[in-house]
Structure 1
Amino acid sequence: MHLMIMRHGEAGWHTLDQQRELTEVGRHGVADVAAQIAGSPWRPAAIWSSPYIRARQTAAIVAEVLNCPIIEKPFITPDDDPGKCLDALLDNELSPLLIVSHMPLVGSLSTLLVDGHRQGIPFMTSQAVLLDMPVVGPGCADLKAQFLP
């Protein structure tokens, strides 16, 4: 399975966390990364998005560039347990799959899949990574590519 994990684009701070929207800089960063993914051999079959507005806006920009569906998942918000996402990935048949979420989840999920622990690596806004997992499980993924704004 190929899995892409992406942090939402830059968002403003003028409202409640769940309602934060992308800034213009954030929209451009997401579009840049989406164009890089479109030019790669790993075009997602679908996007899993956090229900928070900034993640949904990020997913919408990527989906428009890549022409793929968005599936909103309630268990990939900033402070959710990456183990819940791992459990859902075990039942997933879509590959490549793109997850659009937030820090610290994107960092802890990536680290769990690559290194087998939950001490999250940092992600810039709009950054995406591609993981190659012959088997879905902790420590079973290899970092194959990074996409930076």
Structure 2
Amino acid sequence: MKTRARTANLIKEFFSSSHYAVVGASNNPTKYGNKVLKWYISNNRPVTPINPNERLIEGLECVPNLSSLISNLNHADVSVSVITPPKITKTILEEAKKLGIKKVWLQPGAEDTECQDFANQAGIDLLSGGPCVLVDGPRL
């Protein structure tokens, strides 16, 4: 279990990136994938929505996966918010590991113990199990 100080450090590190991605971004304003994306936009964070079924979300060009995003960015300087069901989250974490992405924030509902165990074994600095960018992000 992470301590509050460890979680606070992970959040600080997460927000030190120069670019962000929202996996599970949505055009539906009632879904958290849209709300989280809008949070990054309204807080002037450079962000890319990731959704294999969309071309544009909130006026931003959408990419289908992390690999498409990383082709143009330094993987070490990207933080990724994930808003997907745990089954899909696991494949996102596998892709992040392959690409060398270390900063991942699983929004509530996107994680399960299998995802957390995988991230720990993969060396991913994982935020999960409670904090949410919509709640904890504004305090930063």
Q: Same fold (TM over 0.5)?
A: no
Q: Which has the higher contact order (CA 8 A, sep 6+)?
A: 1
- TM bin, normalised by shorter chain, reads 0.3 to 0.5
In terms of fraction of residues, the more helix-rich structure is 2
TM-score when normalising by structure 2 = 0.43
TM-score when normalising by structure 1 = 0.41
